[in-house]
Amino acid sequence: MNGDASNAIDGNYNSDYAYGSCTHTKLQWYPWWRVDLLKQYKIQYVYIYNRGDCCAERLNGAQILIGDSLVNNGNSNPRCAVISSIAAGQGGSFYCYGMTGRYVNVVLPRYDFLTLCEVYVYGYETD
């Protein structure tokens, strides 16, 4: 098992950590995850699958950030949404209403683990 960041975009939304498709940070302050879209997009929404085998509440309060800056690892970009909760093993949609950016971050504003089992970003190129 590993909790590599790339697991969040591997196309496999299996929510059981033991199957190797979820990310997992170490216990730390402000754990974060980022995807680089390689160019600027207008983001309509972000869909996130939560862990199902335990600890679903850990994702509560996570922030989804969209922008072009890598200042503070991208964690200073504008906020699209705050995840109030996603049930264990389920997914949730978070609407960004056309926010533009190259980077999509998920950050927990506290001391905790961050686990994501899949992240989909829906939008279109800004040209």
Nearest to 113 by CA among 56, 28, 19: 28
Domain count, the chain: 1
CATH number of the domain within which 13 lies: 2.60.120.260
For 68, the 3-state DSSP assignment is coil
Q: How confident is the model at residue 1 (pLDDT cuts 50, 70, 90)?
A: low
- Domain extent at residue 116: 5-125
Q: How far apart are CA 14 and CA 89, in angstroms?
A: 8
Residue 3 has pLDDT above 60, yes or no: yes
pLDDT (average), residues 35-56: 97
At 13-35, the pLDDT tens digits run 899 999 999 999 999 999 999 99
- Which pairs with CB-CB distance under 8 Å and at least 24 residues apart come from 18-22? 18/53, 21/117, 21/118, 22/51, 22/115, 22/116, 22/117
Compute the Cα dihedral for 73, 28, 51, 4 and give only its sign: positive
